[in-house]
Amino acid sequence: MGTNQDEEVEIDLLELFYALKRGFWLILIAGLLAAGVAGMYTAFVMKPVYTSSTMLYVVNKSTALPSLTDLQLGTQLSKDYKVMITSRPVTQKVIENLDLNMDHEALVGKISVDNPSDTRVLTISVRDNDPYMAKTIVDELAQVASARMAEIMGSAPPNIIEEGNLPTRKTSPSISKNTMMGGVLGVFLAMFLIVVEYLLNDSIRTPEDVEKYLGLTVLGTIPVFNEENAPRKKGKKEHQEEQRNPRSRKKKTR
């Protein structure tokens, strides 16, 4: 029983492979079409996004010259400052100062803060469709966050290492990446439809299907009659002509 079941699964997989092979051109066309649509949509519909970044240096200065303890404490503070940058008082202050037409959640969605391991540097990045607006927001955010940190922690504000850059190249979306993803999605969608059509098609087409699905033994098959290959029926006049002139019949048979 186990051997028969394995053979049936193997035959099914083989038939499925041939079904996919027959639909090769459909799969190829679907992939190319989906890739083209995704590329065109990315290039002409999706808005470009630009990113501007600035950096803060966090050190707890207890004396004029920072000690090893100050540097270690600065590393711990950088984790706290990373959370405080996207706090509501900071974002609301930035929105008011720049008169931005967005709320706290929308502004936080544009901000990303990174703190490389074993450093006291905070990198603040802002994404926006306008490169000038991205730079304006990140610069104002650094100023407001630095002042807020000094107020909350009761220490000197973090130093701004550099102002935000004016981005000249978009960071997203990627036309090549979206085109490739669209092509892959189109290929898988076409393959999925072919597999579904194959699984739903329960018609009997071969003698093997009769034995497989109905459990009956095929005793014989009847060939399909093709009118084009069938011998042409002779008319009455042609039959009488052959009886009168046997030589013409021999020539025709030759």
Chain segment 234-250, per-residue pLDDT in tens = 555 665 565 666 555 54
Q: Residue 69 in 3-state DSSP?
A: helix
Q: Are 43 and 175 in contact (CB under 8 A)?
A: yes
Distance between CA atoms of 98 and 121, rounded to whole angstroms?
A: 26
Q: Residue 55 in 3-state DSSP?
A: strand
Q: Residue 84 in 3-state DSSP?
A: helix
Distance between CA atoms of 169 and 166, rounded to whole angstroms?
A: 9
Query: Within 10 A of 183 (CB to CB), how many other CB atoms are there?
Result: 20
| Listed residue (166, 145, 147, 146) closest to 53, CA to CA | 166
**pTM given for the model:** 0.67
User: Which residues, listed in sequence order, are joined to residue 50 by a DSSP beta bridge?
Assistant: 128
The overall average pLDDT reported for the chain is 80
Which residue pairs, CB below 8 angstroms and at least 24 apart, start in 18-24? 19/194, 19/195, 19/197, 19/198, 20/191, 20/194, 20/195, 23/190, 23/191, 23/194
pLDDT of 10 higher than 70: no
pLDDT of 11 higher than 50: no
Q: Are 200 and 21 in contact (CB under 8 A)?
A: no
pLDDT at site 9: 43
The count of C-alpha atoms lying within 13 angstroms of the C-alpha of 181, restricted to the half-sphere facing its C-beta, is 10
